[in-house]
Amino acid sequence: MRAAVVDGFGGPEQVRVAEVEAPRPAAGQVRVRVRAAGLNPVDGAVRAGVFGGAGQRIGLGWDVAGEIDEVGPGVEEWTPGRRVVGLHYGTVKPLGTHAEYAVLDASAVAPAPESVDATVAAALPLSGLTAARALALLGLAPGDSVLITGAAGSVGGIAVQLAARAGLTVTALAGEGDEELVRSLGAKEFVPRGSVPAEPVDGVLDAAVLGAAALGFVRDGGAYVGLIPGAAPAAERGVRVAEQEVAADGAELARLAALVDSGALTLRVARTFGLAEAAEAHAALAAPGTRGRVVLTVS
């Protein structure tokens, strides 16, 4: 099969599409015939060598949308032909989801949303699970106020929608041209990037990784959640500081897919590329101002 891999670290030019042996599912796993696969910032970090792995072939891709192709021993809940979405967790791995086939744990996949095609569904797994996990860690109650940085991005945009649906009063921090977008997603207040909110908030979900600056927006005794382990600022003023670390969670992914089908959650795709254009897709991922997920399509 064809798969996007890197053999050395650097920019998008390091990505190549190679002919590799198709993986087979082991016990408790399923193989997915990939139809579409999202690109995430973590893919760029893997390509750049942030997580190590020098001297080996490294596969790319976490998000996947497609159909079950084969099931491993002991898997009874999935059958070939079922449309699914899933999260292939792991940084340094020989193969990811940017390939014609991907093997995942059976517990890492969920029924795909029925109301959107695979290209759109591929924008859900990592962004959706990250946003949901971060909001859960904030621990806010309906009526509380939350500020979401990077609110026009893929994770931030989903977080705005989920927070509004949970009854939180959402302030969105994003670029000046993004006000209409984030308000359409459910934000009540808008703060242009580089500005300060008028009032402290009960919690901050720091999708833009502003760190100490974002912590300063939180009231004394509030909560701050960062998205990158090790990047959160030191706690102060009684503010509870936490860092989310996403995990493959088929049950939660199924809940998010149901929200897509109900119309309560909108997914955004910025650009699509064929698998053969994986290097170009990485260049688009690195470009500033992307609003929505870059997605690889696989025929």
Give pLDDT tens digits along the chain (299 positions): 999 999 999 999 999 999 999 999 999 999 999 999 999 999 999 999 999 988 899 999 999 999 999 999 999 999 999 999 999 999 899 999 999 999 999 999 999 999 999 999 999 999 999 999 999 999 999 999 999 999 999 999 999 999 999 999 999 999 999 999 999 999 999 999 989 999 999 999 999 999 999 999 999 999 999 998 888 898 999 999 999 888 999 999 999 999 999 999 999 999 999 999 999 999 998 887 778 899 999 97
Kindly state whether residue 248 falls inside one of the protein's structural domains.
no
Here the tokens at position 271 are 């650009």
Here the tokens at position 142 are 């309906």
Could you tell me if 6 and 42 are in contact, meaning their C-beta atoms sit under 8 angstroms apart?
no
- Specify whether 110 is located in the same domain as 170: no
Q: What is the pLDDT of residue 216?
A: 95
- Specify whether 195 is located in the same domain as 275: no
SS3 percent helix, strand, coil of the chain, rounded to 5, is 30, 30, 40
- When divided into structural domains, the chain yields a total of 2
- Read off the amino acid at residue 126: L
Kindly state whether residue 256 falls inside one of the protein's structural domains.
no
CA gyration radius, the chain: 19
Could you tell me if 118 and 102 are in contact, meaning their C-beta atoms sit under 8 angstroms apart?
no
Containing structural domain, residue 118: 2-124+267-297
- Specify whether 120 is located in the same domain as 16: yes
* Burial class, 196, CB count within 10 angstroms (exposed 0-12 / middle 13-18 / buried 19+): exposed
- Specify whether 25 is located in the same domain as 107: yes
- Specify whether 167 is located in the same domain as 274: no
Regarding pTM above 0.85, the answer is: yes
Output the domain CATH number for residue 134. 3.40.50.720
The structure tokens 């020098």 sit at 54
Cα 273 from Cα 299, distance rounded (Å) = 11
Cα 77 from Cα 74, distance rounded (Å) = 9
Output the domain CATH number for residue 78. 3.90.180.10
Q: What is the pLDDT of residue 228?
A: 85
- Specify whether 78 is located in the same domain as 36: yes
- Specify whether 88 is located in the same domain as 171: no
- Alpha helices per DSSP H over the chain: 41-48, 118-121, 125-138, 154-165, 179-185, 212-215, 250-262, 278-286
Q: What is the pLDDT of residue 299?
A: 76
Kindly state whether residue 186 falls inside one of the protein's structural domains.
yes
Kindly state whether residue 281 falls inside one of the protein's structural domains.
yes
- Specify whether 119 is located in the same domain as 7: yes
- Please identify, among 243, 259, 276, the residue that sits at the C-terminal boundary of a domain: 243
Kindly state whether residue 167 falls inside one of the protein's structural domains.
yes
- Specify whether 136 is located in the same domain as 115: no
- Please identify, among 203, 228, 243, the residue that sits at the C-terminal boundary of a domain: 243
Cα 60 from Cα 42, distance rounded (Å) = 9
